[in-house]
């Protein structure tokens, strides 16, 4: 209290202090009433927007609308912001990938003299602003910026509890499907008449499955299939074959068929049937950890980009 009273008595006798306080007040008022303009990113040109929409339509089969369209345009503006920020930090001058790319560009464009050093070509490329229009440079600087943002806002590692929770939520997704291991003899439609005598012929000639392969017609996908799920078999033989195989409820070490497919007929020696079962946590732990860490990385990066965006004015 005594020190405060002393200061109040001194202030009126110190004109220079009046100017100092007045200047500080004016500086504060200026910063509040007339803040420094933020760097502007955008707007995106119409041709560029159409290009983004075309890419989306090619990938999804439809044009984006509403909130999805806003997200696409916002993401592109954020990429522009990251590139602009990287250039403002002179990251392009420090990166060896950018250096080599611009040197190669100068050589490709025929702008390199016989005595020019790589360093001289690089500086000349910067003077020509080649780094601003090169897609490889852009992608590299975006990658570097993402690494820097993640270093300042690192994602949390996946905990054992989070992995266990994810496993419980995705248990059905990871359920191990029914699998078949078998050898098959193929008969095209021209040999359909031979099918009636086929089991008796195999028994009469005492043919084991490998020897019986000599009876098969050529089949483009081969004859032996190991640990194949119904979905995998459907991609090879078609849905009709899989439906017939499932209906036969095949047991191991027996011939089954003939089974019809889109190609013809198949006589199948089933070696093994692995029933469907729930997955064990240890089987899928690496997948769950990878997915959780990728989600955490994406959240951390999105948060860091949002923080950086507060320092820019993004114009769609």
pLDDT-based confidence at residue 2 (cuts at 50, 70, 90): low
Give me the residue label for tokens 């050898």: 183
Per-residue pLDDT reduced to its tens digit, 197-256 = 999 999 899 999 999 999 999 999 999 999 999 999 999 999 999 999 999 999 999 999
What are the φ/ψ torsions at residue 38 (nearest 5 degrees)? Answer: -80, 150
Per-residue pLDDT reduced to its tens digit, 100-134 = 999 999 999 999 998 999 999 999 999 999 999 99
What is the C-alpha R_g of the chain? 35
- Calculate mean pLDDT across residues 265-270: 95
224 contacts 183 by C-beta, under 8 angstroms? yes
3-state secondary structure of 50: helix
- Calculate mean pLDDT across residues 7-21: 54
255 part of a folded domain:
yes
Structure confidence at residue 311 (pLDDT): 94
Q: Which helix (H) or strand (E) holds 312?
A: none
CATH code, domain with 202: 3.10.50.40
Per-residue pLDDT reduced to its tens digit, 25-56 = 555 555 555 557 889 998 999 999 999 999 99
What are the φ/ψ torsions at residue 261 (nearest 5 degrees)? Answer: -140, -175
Structure confidence at residue 34 (pLDDT): 54
Higher pLDDT, 290 or 194: 290
43 part of a folded domain:
no
Q: Which domain holds residue 183?
A: 179-274
Q: At residue 279, does pLDDT exceed 90? A: yes
**Alpha helices by DSSP H, 205-316:** 209-212, 230-237, 239-248, 281-309
Structure confidence at residue 37 (pLDDT): 84
Strands 224-228 and 313-314: unpaired
- Calculate mean pLDDT across residues 267-275: 95
257 part of a folded domain:
yes
Q: State how far the Cα of 9 lies from the Cα of 7, in Å rounded to an integer.
A: 5
The C-alpha angle with vertex 295 and arms to 289 and 299, in degrees rounded to 5, equals: 145
155 part of a folded domain:
no
Contacts of 232 (CB under 8 A, 6+ apart): none
- Calculate mean pLDDT across residues 279-296: 96
Per-residue pLDDT reduced to its tens digit, 172-181 = 999 999 999 9
Q: State how far the Cα of 71 lies from the Cα of 77, in Å rounded to an integer.
A: 10
pLDDT-based confidence at residue 24 (cuts at 50, 70, 90): low
Q: State how far the Cα of 93 lies from the Cα of 210, in Å rounded to an integer.
A: 66
Structure confidence at residue 9 (pLDDT): 57
Q: Count the domains in the chain.
A: 2
Q: State how far the Cα of 52 lies from the Cα of 30, in Å rounded to an integer.
A: 41
Structure confidence at residue 74 (pLDDT): 95
99 part of a folded domain:
no
265-274, strands of its sheet edge to edge = 224-228, 179-187, 265-274, 254-260
183 part of a folded domain:
yes
Higher pLDDT, 183 or 11: 183
315 part of a folded domain:
no
pLDDT-based confidence at residue 182 (cuts at 50, 70, 90): very high
Structure confidence at residue 189 (pLDDT): 87
Structure confidence at residue 316 (pLDDT): 78
- Calculate mean pLDDT across residues 84-110: 97
Q: At residue 16, does pLDDT exceed 90? A: no
214 part of a folded domain:
yes
Domain closes at, from 259, 274, 289? 274
């Amino acid at each position: 209290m005594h020190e405060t009273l002393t200061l109040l008595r001194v202030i009126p006798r110190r004109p220079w202090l009046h100017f100092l306080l007045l200047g500080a007040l004016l500086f504060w008022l200026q910063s509040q009433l007339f803040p420094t303009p933020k760097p502007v990113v955008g707007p995106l040109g119409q041709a560029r927007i159409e290009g983004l929409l075309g890419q989306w339509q090619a990938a999804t089969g439809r044009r984006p609308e509403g909130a999805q369209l806003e997200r696409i345009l916002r993401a592109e503006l954020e990429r522009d912001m990251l590139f602009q920020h990287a250039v403002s930090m002179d990251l392009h001058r420090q990166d060896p990938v950018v250096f080599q790319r611009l040197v190669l560009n100068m050589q490709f464009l025929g702008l390199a003299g016989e005595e020019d050093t790589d360093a001289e070509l690089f500086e000349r490329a910067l003077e020509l602003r080649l780094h601003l229009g090169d897609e490889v440079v852009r992608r590299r600087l975006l990658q570097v910026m993402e690494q820097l943002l993640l270093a300042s806002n690192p994602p949390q590692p996946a905990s054992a509890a989070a992995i266990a929770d994810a496993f419980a939520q995705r248990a059905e997704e990871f359920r191990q499907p029914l699998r078949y291991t078998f050898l098959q003899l193929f008969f095209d439609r021209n040999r359909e008449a031979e099918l009636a005598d086929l089991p008796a012929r195999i028994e009469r000639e005492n043919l084991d499955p490998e020897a019986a392969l000599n009876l098969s017609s050529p089949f483009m996908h081969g004859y032996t299939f190991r640990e194949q799920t119904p979905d995998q078999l459907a991609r090879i033989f078609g849905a009709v074959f899989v439906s017939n195989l499932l209906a036969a409820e095949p047991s191991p070490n027996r011939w089954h068929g003939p089974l019809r497919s889109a190609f013809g007929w198949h006589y199948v020696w089933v070696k093994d049937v692995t029933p469907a079962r729930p997955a064990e946590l240890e089987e899928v732990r690496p997948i769950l950890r990878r997915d959780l860490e990728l989600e955490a990385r994406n959240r951390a990066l999105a948060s860091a980009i949002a923080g950086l965006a507060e320092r820019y004015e993004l114009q769609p």
